[in-house]
Copies of this chain bind each other. A is one copy, B any other.
Amino acid sequence: MSWRDLKTLLSKFDIDYGDIVEIEGKRRVRGVVMPRSEIADDKHIVLKIDSGYNIGINIEDIEQIKKLGKVKKEKRVSKVKRKENLPDISLLSTGGTIASKIDYSTGAVHPVISTEELFSVMPELFETANISSRKVFEVLSENMNPEMWEKLAKEVYSEIKKGADAVVIAHGTDTMAYTGSALAFSFSSLSVPVVMVGSQRSSDRPSSDAEDNLKDSVTFAVKGDVGEVVVLMHGSSEDRYSLVHRAVKVRKMHSSRRDAFRTINDIPIAKIENKAITYLSDYRKVEEESKIETGFEKKVALLYFYPGMDEELFATFAERYKGIVIAGTGLGHVSENLIEVIKDAIEDGTEIVMSTQTIYGRVDMKVYSTGRKLLSAGVVSCEDMLPETALVKLSWLLDKKKDVCELMGKNLRGEITKRTRFDTFLT
Protein backbone atom coordinates (compact mmCIF):
# COMPACT_ATOMS: atom_id res chain seq x y z
CA MET A 1 0.00 0.00 0.00
CA SER A 2 1.56 3.31 -1.03
CA TRP A 3 1.14 6.65 0.70
CA ARG A 4 -1.38 7.74 -1.85
CA ASP A 5 -3.31 4.55 -1.18
CA LEU A 6 -3.21 5.25 2.52
CA LYS A 7 -4.67 8.70 2.02
CA THR A 8 -7.48 7.18 0.01
CA LEU A 9 -7.96 4.54 2.65
CA LEU A 10 -7.99 7.10 5.44
CA SER A 11 -10.60 9.20 3.68
CA LYS A 12 -12.66 6.11 2.86
CA PHE A 13 -12.94 5.32 6.55
CA ASP A 14 -13.47 9.00 7.23
CA ILE A 15 -10.27 9.08 9.23
CA ASP A 16 -8.34 12.27 9.77
CA TYR A 17 -5.34 13.44 11.72
CA GLY A 18 -6.18 13.50 15.40
CA ASP A 19 -8.59 10.59 15.16
CA ILE A 20 -8.25 7.65 17.51
CA VAL A 21 -7.93 4.44 15.49
CA GLU A 22 -7.21 0.78 15.89
CA ILE A 23 -4.97 -0.76 13.26
CA GLU A 24 -4.87 -4.48 12.54
CA GLY A 25 -1.69 -5.81 11.01
CA LYS A 26 1.36 -7.57 12.39
CA ARG A 27 -0.14 -6.64 15.74
CA ARG A 28 -3.12 -4.62 16.89
CA VAL A 29 -2.25 -1.01 17.73
CA ARG A 30 -4.47 1.70 19.15
CA GLY A 31 -3.56 5.37 18.97
CA VAL A 32 -4.05 8.83 17.57
CA VAL A 33 -3.22 9.35 13.88
CA MET A 34 -0.42 11.87 13.72
CA PRO A 35 0.01 14.19 10.77
CA ARG A 36 2.78 13.50 8.32
CA SER A 37 5.59 15.84 9.11
CA GLU A 38 7.89 16.82 6.32
CA ILE A 39 10.52 14.51 7.71
CA ALA A 40 8.43 11.34 7.90
CA ASP A 41 8.86 8.96 5.02
CA ASP A 42 5.95 7.78 2.90
CA LYS A 43 6.11 4.19 4.05
CA HIS A 44 4.76 4.67 7.57
CA ILE A 45 1.71 5.97 9.32
CA VAL A 46 2.50 7.49 12.70
CA LEU A 47 0.31 6.77 15.73
CA LYS A 48 0.66 8.34 19.16
CA ILE A 49 -0.12 5.45 21.47
CA ASP A 50 -1.45 5.55 25.05
CA SER A 51 2.00 5.71 26.61
CA GLY A 52 2.40 9.05 24.82
CA TYR A 53 4.98 7.49 22.58
CA ASN A 54 4.86 7.81 18.79
CA ILE A 55 5.25 4.71 16.71
CA GLY A 56 5.54 4.22 12.99
CA ILE A 57 3.60 1.44 11.31
CA ASN A 58 4.61 0.24 7.88
CA ILE A 59 1.74 0.91 5.52
CA GLU A 60 2.25 -2.42 3.84
CA ASP A 61 1.55 -4.25 7.10
CA ILE A 62 -1.86 -2.65 7.58
CA GLU A 63 -4.78 -5.04 7.16
CA GLN A 64 -7.56 -2.95 8.64
CA ILE A 65 -8.14 0.45 10.19
CA LYS A 66 -11.03 1.09 12.57
CA LYS A 67 -12.00 4.55 13.74
CA LEU A 68 -12.72 4.69 17.46
CA GLY A 69 -13.27 8.39 17.98
CA LYS A 70 -11.71 11.80 17.92
CA VAL A 71 -8.99 13.11 20.20
CA LYS A 72 -10.46 15.51 22.73
CA LYS A 73 -9.84 19.16 22.12
CA GLU A 74 -6.97 20.23 24.27
CA LYS A 75 -8.29 21.60 27.54
CA ARG A 76 -6.57 24.93 27.67
CA VAL A 77 -6.28 26.19 31.21
CA SER A 78 -6.46 29.91 31.65
CA LYS A 79 -4.30 30.02 34.74
CA VAL A 80 -2.07 27.45 36.41
CA LYS A 81 -2.46 27.69 40.15
CA ARG A 82 0.76 27.94 42.12
CA LYS A 83 1.13 25.41 44.92
CA GLU A 84 2.85 26.83 47.99
CA ASN A 85 4.58 23.58 49.00
CA LEU A 86 6.29 22.98 45.65
CA PRO A 87 9.58 24.44 44.38
CA ASP A 88 9.48 27.11 41.69
CA ILE A 89 11.17 26.27 38.42
CA SER A 90 11.73 28.72 35.60
CA LEU A 91 11.67 27.19 32.15
CA LEU A 92 13.34 29.45 29.62
CA SER A 93 12.69 28.58 26.01
CA THR A 94 15.21 29.48 23.31
CA GLY A 95 13.55 27.76 20.40
CA GLY A 96 14.59 24.14 20.53
CA THR A 97 12.10 21.45 19.60
CA ILE A 98 12.07 20.15 23.14
CA ALA A 99 8.94 21.88 24.38
CA SER A 100 6.62 21.74 21.45
CA LYS A 101 3.13 20.59 20.59
CA ILE A 102 1.47 19.39 17.45
CA ASP A 103 -1.39 21.02 15.64
CA TYR A 104 -3.30 17.89 14.64
CA SER A 105 -4.95 19.60 11.70
CA THR A 106 -1.79 20.75 9.94
CA GLY A 107 0.91 18.57 11.42
CA ALA A 108 2.96 21.64 12.22
CA VAL A 109 4.92 21.63 15.44
CA HIS A 110 4.66 24.78 17.53
CA PRO A 111 6.90 25.64 20.42
CA VAL A 112 5.07 25.56 23.73
CA ILE A 113 5.88 28.85 25.29
CA SER A 114 3.47 29.89 28.01
CA THR A 115 3.05 28.15 31.35
CA GLU A 116 -0.58 27.49 30.50
CA GLU A 117 0.26 25.80 27.22
CA LEU A 118 2.89 23.66 28.89
CA PHE A 119 0.38 22.61 31.53
CA SER A 120 -2.10 21.66 28.84
CA VAL A 121 0.46 19.49 27.08
CA MET A 122 2.29 17.93 30.02
CA PRO A 123 0.29 18.40 33.23
CA GLU A 124 2.36 15.76 35.04
CA LEU A 125 5.35 18.12 34.95
CA PHE A 126 3.48 20.31 37.44
CA GLU A 127 3.04 17.53 40.00
CA THR A 128 6.43 18.13 41.57
CA ALA A 129 7.05 21.79 40.83
CA ASN A 130 5.50 25.11 39.98
CA ILE A 131 6.81 25.72 36.49
CA SER A 132 6.78 29.12 34.98
CA SER A 133 7.64 29.04 31.31
CA ARG A 134 8.61 31.87 29.02
CA LYS A 135 10.38 32.52 25.76
CA VAL A 136 13.78 34.19 25.61
CA PHE A 137 14.52 33.46 21.96
CA GLU A 138 12.85 31.54 19.19
CA VAL A 139 15.77 30.42 17.04
CA LEU A 140 17.26 27.25 15.65
CA SER A 141 20.33 26.75 17.80
CA GLU A 142 22.76 27.15 14.90
CA ASN A 143 21.74 30.82 15.04
CA MET A 144 22.80 31.35 18.65
CA ASN A 145 25.77 33.69 19.06
CA PRO A 146 27.92 35.29 21.78
CA GLU A 147 25.51 38.22 22.25
CA MET A 148 22.66 35.81 22.83
CA TRP A 149 24.79 33.81 25.28
CA GLU A 150 25.17 36.98 27.30
CA LYS A 151 21.49 37.84 27.16
CA LEU A 152 20.55 34.30 28.20
CA ALA A 153 22.98 34.42 31.14
CA LYS A 154 21.35 37.63 32.33
CA GLU A 155 17.88 36.11 32.00
CA VAL A 156 18.97 33.12 34.06
CA TYR A 157 20.37 35.45 36.70
CA SER A 158 17.16 37.45 36.73
CA GLU A 159 15.09 34.27 37.28
CA ILE A 160 17.32 33.29 40.18
CA LYS A 161 17.02 36.78 41.69
CA LYS A 162 13.25 36.58 41.36
CA GLY A 163 13.33 33.44 43.50
CA ALA A 164 13.51 30.48 41.11
CA ASP A 165 14.63 27.29 42.85
CA ALA A 166 16.07 26.02 39.57
CA VAL A 167 16.31 27.15 35.96
CA VAL A 168 15.64 24.79 33.05
CA ILE A 169 16.60 25.96 29.56
CA ALA A 170 15.10 24.37 26.47
CA HIS A 171 17.68 24.64 23.70
CA GLY A 172 18.33 23.22 20.24
CA THR A 173 20.95 20.49 20.29
CA ASP A 174 23.27 21.73 17.52
CA THR A 175 25.04 24.33 19.64
CA MET A 176 23.74 23.41 23.10
CA ALA A 177 27.24 22.59 24.34
CA TYR A 178 28.59 25.98 23.22
CA THR A 179 25.75 27.85 24.97
CA GLY A 180 26.12 25.62 28.04
CA SER A 181 29.81 26.50 28.28
CA ALA A 182 28.98 30.18 27.90
CA LEU A 183 26.52 29.99 30.81
CA ALA A 184 29.00 27.99 32.89
CA PHE A 185 31.71 30.65 32.54
CA SER A 186 29.14 33.39 33.18
CA PHE A 187 28.48 32.15 36.73
CA SER A 188 31.36 31.92 39.17
CA SER A 189 28.89 30.51 41.66
CA LEU A 190 25.31 29.26 41.43
CA SER A 191 22.70 29.05 44.15
CA VAL A 192 20.40 26.82 42.08
CA PRO A 193 20.84 24.13 39.41
CA VAL A 194 20.83 25.36 35.81
CA VAL A 195 19.72 22.51 33.54
CA MET A 196 19.87 22.69 29.77
CA VAL A 197 17.69 20.23 27.94
CA GLY A 198 17.08 19.41 24.31
CA SER A 199 15.73 16.72 22.06
CA GLN A 200 17.24 15.07 19.03
CA ARG A 201 13.85 14.29 17.50
CA SER A 202 10.89 16.60 17.69
CA SER A 203 7.56 15.64 19.23
CA ASP A 204 5.92 14.84 15.93
CA ARG A 205 8.40 12.09 15.17
CA PRO A 206 8.20 8.49 16.15
CA SER A 207 10.57 7.96 19.07
CA SER A 208 10.82 11.58 20.10
CA ASP A 209 12.98 12.08 23.16
CA ALA A 210 11.47 15.47 23.96
CA GLU A 211 9.01 14.50 26.68
CA ASP A 212 11.34 12.12 28.55
CA ASN A 213 14.16 14.62 28.57
CA LEU A 214 11.96 17.45 29.77
CA LYS A 215 10.48 15.33 32.56
CA ASP A 216 13.91 14.21 33.73
CA SER A 217 15.23 17.75 33.61
CA VAL A 218 12.44 18.84 35.96
CA THR A 219 13.19 15.87 38.24
CA PHE A 220 16.84 16.85 38.36
CA ALA A 221 16.03 20.53 38.83
CA VAL A 222 13.73 19.73 41.74
CA LYS A 223 15.86 17.14 43.52
CA GLY A 224 19.41 18.07 42.47
CA ASP A 225 21.71 20.23 44.57
CA VAL A 226 24.23 20.75 41.76
CA GLY A 227 25.47 24.33 41.56
CA GLU A 228 26.63 23.95 37.97
CA VAL A 229 25.35 24.38 34.44
CA VAL A 230 24.50 20.93 33.17
CA VAL A 231 23.12 19.38 29.99
CA LEU A 232 20.51 16.62 30.28
CA MET A 233 19.90 14.28 27.36
CA HIS A 234 19.11 10.62 26.61
CA GLY A 235 21.82 8.30 27.87
CA SER A 236 20.99 5.33 25.68
CA SER A 237 19.33 4.82 22.35
CA GLU A 238 16.37 3.32 24.17
CA ASP A 239 14.21 5.34 26.54
CA ARG A 240 15.91 3.77 29.52
CA TYR A 241 17.68 6.62 31.23
CA SER A 242 19.03 10.11 30.77
CA LEU A 243 22.45 11.46 31.66
CA VAL A 244 23.40 14.75 33.26
CA HIS A 245 26.59 16.16 31.76
CA ARG A 246 28.77 19.03 32.92
CA ALA A 247 28.11 21.63 30.19
CA VAL A 248 31.81 22.45 29.68
CA LYS A 249 32.64 18.75 29.13
CA VAL A 250 29.82 17.64 26.86
CA ARG A 251 29.80 17.28 23.08
CA LYS A 252 27.23 16.33 20.48
CA MET A 253 28.91 13.25 19.02
CA HIS A 254 26.30 12.09 16.54
CA SER A 255 24.15 13.96 14.07
CA SER A 256 20.91 12.10 14.78
CA ARG A 257 21.02 9.55 17.61
CA ARG A 258 19.11 10.37 20.77
CA ASP A 259 22.13 9.38 22.88
CA ALA A 260 24.37 11.72 20.87
CA PHE A 261 25.56 13.77 23.84
CA ARG A 262 28.67 12.49 25.57
CA THR A 263 30.87 13.70 28.38
CA ILE A 264 34.39 13.80 26.93
CA ASN A 265 37.51 12.93 28.96
CA ASP A 266 35.41 12.57 32.11
CA ILE A 267 32.27 10.79 33.29
CA PRO A 268 28.80 12.32 33.52
CA ILE A 269 27.59 13.88 36.78
CA ALA A 270 24.48 11.78 37.16
CA LYS A 271 22.09 9.28 35.65
CA ILE A 272 18.32 9.49 35.93
CA GLU A 273 16.27 6.35 35.64
CA ASN A 274 12.62 6.09 36.69
CA LYS A 275 12.86 9.49 38.35
CA ALA A 276 15.72 8.30 40.56
CA ILE A 277 18.99 10.21 40.44
CA THR A 278 22.26 8.28 40.74
CA TYR A 279 25.33 10.45 41.06
CA LEU A 280 28.29 9.18 39.06
CA SER A 281 30.96 11.74 39.88
CA ASP A 282 31.81 14.68 42.11
CA TYR A 283 30.15 17.98 41.43
CA ARG A 284 30.01 21.46 42.82
CA LYS A 285 27.18 21.97 45.29
CA VAL A 286 24.86 24.97 45.14
CA GLU A 287 26.22 27.97 46.99
CA GLU A 288 24.66 30.76 49.04
CA GLU A 289 24.66 33.23 46.22
CA SER A 290 24.72 33.25 42.42
CA LYS A 291 27.43 35.47 41.01
CA ILE A 292 27.26 36.54 37.38
CA GLU A 293 30.16 37.80 35.29
CA THR A 294 29.16 37.49 31.66
CA GLY A 295 30.10 39.00 28.30
CA PHE A 296 32.01 37.53 25.35
CA GLU A 297 34.60 38.96 22.99
CA LYS A 298 33.34 38.45 19.46
CA LYS A 299 36.72 38.63 17.77
CA VAL A 300 37.68 35.03 18.49
CA ALA A 301 37.91 32.11 16.09
CA LEU A 302 38.26 28.35 16.06
CA LEU A 303 40.69 27.17 13.41
CA TYR A 304 40.80 23.52 12.46
CA PHE A 305 44.26 22.60 11.19
CA TYR A 306 44.64 20.37 8.12
CA PRO A 307 47.62 19.34 5.97
CA GLY A 308 48.39 21.99 3.41
CA MET A 309 46.98 24.91 5.45
CA ASP A 310 48.88 27.91 4.16
CA GLU A 311 50.50 30.56 6.30
CA GLU A 312 48.69 33.38 4.50
CA LEU A 313 45.35 32.01 5.62
CA PHE A 314 46.61 31.86 9.15
CA ALA A 315 47.92 35.43 8.94
CA THR A 316 44.50 36.57 7.71
CA PHE A 317 42.89 34.95 10.73
CA ALA A 318 45.45 36.40 13.08
CA GLU A 319 44.89 39.92 11.77
CA ARG A 320 41.13 39.70 12.24
CA TYR A 321 40.95 38.12 15.67
CA LYS A 322 42.04 38.89 19.21
CA GLY A 323 42.12 35.22 20.04
CA ILE A 324 42.37 31.96 18.11
CA VAL A 325 41.76 28.41 19.27
CA ILE A 326 43.62 25.97 17.05
CA ALA A 327 42.30 22.42 16.83
CA GLY A 328 45.67 20.88 16.06
CA THR A 329 46.58 17.27 15.29
CA GLY A 330 47.50 14.68 17.91
CA LEU A 331 49.10 16.13 21.01
CA GLY A 332 48.64 19.67 19.66
CA HIS A 333 50.55 20.16 16.42
CA VAL A 334 50.44 22.18 13.23
CA SER A 335 52.78 22.11 10.26
CA GLU A 336 56.20 23.75 10.51
CA ASN A 337 55.34 26.50 7.99
CA LEU A 338 52.78 28.00 10.36
CA ILE A 339 55.02 28.35 13.38
CA GLU A 340 56.70 31.61 12.34
CA VAL A 341 53.40 33.29 11.50
CA ILE A 342 51.91 32.07 14.79
CA LYS A 343 54.88 33.58 16.63
CA ASP A 344 54.44 36.89 14.81
CA ALA A 345 50.72 36.94 15.60
CA ILE A 346 51.36 36.34 19.29
CA GLU A 347 53.98 39.09 19.33
CA ASP A 348 51.38 41.38 17.75
CA GLY A 349 49.02 40.63 20.62
CA THR A 350 46.79 37.81 19.35
CA GLU A 351 46.18 35.13 21.97
CA ILE A 352 46.66 31.68 20.47
CA VAL A 353 45.69 28.53 22.35
CA MET A 354 45.97 24.87 21.33
CA SER A 355 43.36 22.12 21.54
CA THR A 356 43.28 18.83 19.68
CA GLN A 357 41.09 17.60 16.82
CA THR A 358 41.24 14.06 18.21
CA ILE A 359 38.48 15.28 20.62
CA TYR A 360 39.55 12.71 23.21
CA GLY A 361 42.83 12.98 25.08
CA ARG A 362 45.02 15.83 26.21
CA VAL A 363 47.23 18.37 24.49
CA ASP A 364 50.88 17.91 25.41
CA MET A 365 53.23 20.16 23.49
CA LYS A 366 56.30 19.03 25.42
CA VAL A 367 56.57 15.64 23.71
CA TYR A 368 57.64 16.42 20.15
CA SER A 369 59.76 19.17 18.64
CA THR A 370 56.77 20.78 16.88
CA GLY A 371 54.97 21.17 20.19
CA ARG A 372 58.02 22.60 21.90
CA LYS A 373 58.44 25.16 19.11
CA LEU A 374 54.79 26.16 19.51
CA LEU A 375 55.26 26.53 23.26
CA SER A 376 58.28 28.80 22.74
CA ALA A 377 56.28 30.82 20.25
CA GLY A 378 53.84 31.50 23.10
CA VAL A 379 50.99 29.10 22.28
CA VAL A 380 48.99 28.13 25.38
CA SER A 381 47.82 24.55 25.98
CA CYS A 382 44.12 23.86 26.49
CA GLU A 383 44.97 20.60 28.29
CA ASP A 384 42.06 18.16 27.92
CA MET A 385 39.50 20.86 27.17
CA LEU A 386 37.20 20.50 24.18
CA PRO A 387 37.98 22.87 21.26
CA GLU A 388 34.43 24.27 21.49
CA THR A 389 34.70 24.92 25.23
CA ALA A 390 38.11 26.49 24.67
CA LEU A 391 36.59 28.90 22.13
CA VAL A 392 33.91 30.02 24.60
CA LYS A 393 36.41 30.28 27.45
CA LEU A 394 38.84 32.34 25.36
CA SER A 395 36.01 34.63 24.29
CA TRP A 396 34.95 35.06 27.93
CA LEU A 397 38.52 35.62 29.21
CA LEU A 398 39.27 38.22 26.53
CA ASP A 399 36.07 40.13 27.22
CA LYS A 400 37.07 40.35 30.89
CA LYS A 401 40.65 41.28 29.96
CA LYS A 402 41.74 38.34 32.08
CA ASP A 403 45.16 36.74 31.71
CA VAL A 404 44.79 34.09 29.02
CA CYS A 405 48.26 32.60 29.57
CA GLU A 406 47.55 32.07 33.24
CA LEU A 407 43.90 31.02 33.10
CA MET A 408 43.43 29.08 29.85
CA GLY A 409 45.09 25.95 31.20
CA LYS A 410 43.68 26.40 34.70
CA ASN A 411 40.47 24.67 35.68
CA LEU A 412 37.73 27.22 36.40
CA ARG A 413 34.41 25.38 35.90
CA GLY A 414 35.34 21.74 35.59
CA GLU A 415 36.40 22.21 31.95
CA ILE A 416 39.83 20.71 32.63
CA THR A 417 40.33 17.42 34.40
CA LYS A 418 43.71 17.06 35.97
CA ARG A 419 44.02 13.39 35.23
CA THR A 420 41.85 11.70 32.65
CA ARG A 421 40.21 8.51 33.77
CA PHE A 422 41.21 5.58 31.58
CA ASP A 423 37.62 4.41 31.17
CA THR A 424 36.33 7.59 29.57
CA PHE A 425 37.40 6.91 25.96
CA LEU A 426 34.48 6.46 23.56
CA THR A 427 31.87 5.66 26.18
A360 / chain B contacts, CB cutoff of 8 Å: 253-255, 257, 260
A337 neighbours in B (Cβ, 8 Å): 143
Please give the number of chain A residues whose Cβ is less than 8 angstroms from any Cβ of chain B in the complex. 74
Report Cα–Cα, A385/B136, bound state, in Å.
Answer: 36
Binary B-proximity of A293-323 (CB < 8 A = 1, otherwise 0): 0001010111111111110110011001000
Nearest B residue to A298 via CB reads B308
Q: Are B361 and A145 in contact, CB atoms less than 8 angstroms apart?
A: no
Contacts of A296 in B (CB 8 A): 308
Task: Mark contacts of A141-180 with chain B using CB atoms, 8 A cut-off: 1 yes-contact digit, 0 otherwise.
Answer: 1111110010000000000000000000000011100110
Of all chain B residues, the one with the shortest Cβ separation from A142 is: B333
Q: Of A5-13, A77-85, A324-332, which binds chain B? A: A324-332
CB closest chain-B residue, reference A237: B422
Which of A127-135, A242-250, A343-351, A366-374 sits within the interface? Answer: A366-374
Does A427 touch B at the CB level, under 8 Å? yes
Tell me which of B252, B309, B425 contacts A330 (CB under 8 A): B252
Q: Say yes or no for A362: interface residue by CB 8 A criterion.
A: yes
Provide the bound-state CA to CA distance between A327 and B303, in Å.
11
Contacts of A173 in B (CB 8 A): 330
A363 at the interface (CB under 8 A from B): yes
B140-A332 in contact (CB<8A): no
Does A358 sit at the interface, judged by CB under 8 A? yes
17 contacting pairs across A/B (C-beta < 8 A)? A142-B307, A142-B330, A143-B337, A144-B307, A146-B307, A175-B307, A253-B425, A254-B358, A255-B331, A255-B356, A257-B361, A259-B425, A260-B361, A302-B304, A302-B306, A308-B395, A313-B320
Closest 4 pairs between A and B when the two form their complex, measured CB to CB:
A255-B361, A174-B329, A304-B304, A174-B330
